[in-house]
Amino acid sequence: MKNWMFGLIGISVLLVSACDDMTTEQRTVAGVAGGAAAGLIAADALEADNDWRLIAALAGAAAGTMVAQNNQSKTCAYARGDGTYYEAPCP
């Protein structure tokens, strides 16, 4: 069951990354939806209760938004190791 879910996550990431001609708003919506779905799938795979499923969906939506916006701007955030980060062009 878990392998099936991880395969589904991988396919959804590939499908979302193939949408290069989207506007910023469309990319953000796709990131929110994909991130929330990935969070729910991960919570389901870990057999979490309803409270943790909600938290996982919200965290996934936030992460999906950040990934979508960073892909659009072509900048990545790098950790310095002291709790701060800096932004630079993605490799």
pLDDT tens for residues 31-82?
888 888 888 888 888 888 888 888 888 888 888 887 777 766 777 777 788 8
Does residue 18 register a pLDDT over 60? no
What is the C-alpha to C-alpha distance for residues 91 and 87, in angstroms, rounded to an integer? 12
pLDDT of residue 5: 61
Token pair recorded at residue 82: 């002291």
Q: Are 58 and 51 in contact (CB under 8 A)?
A: no
Q: Are 79 and 85 in contact (CB under 8 A)?
A: yes
Amino acid at 64: G
Q: pTM higher than 0.85 for the full model?
A: no
In 3D space, the residue among 47, 61, 54 whose CA is nearest the CA of residue 5 turns out to be 47
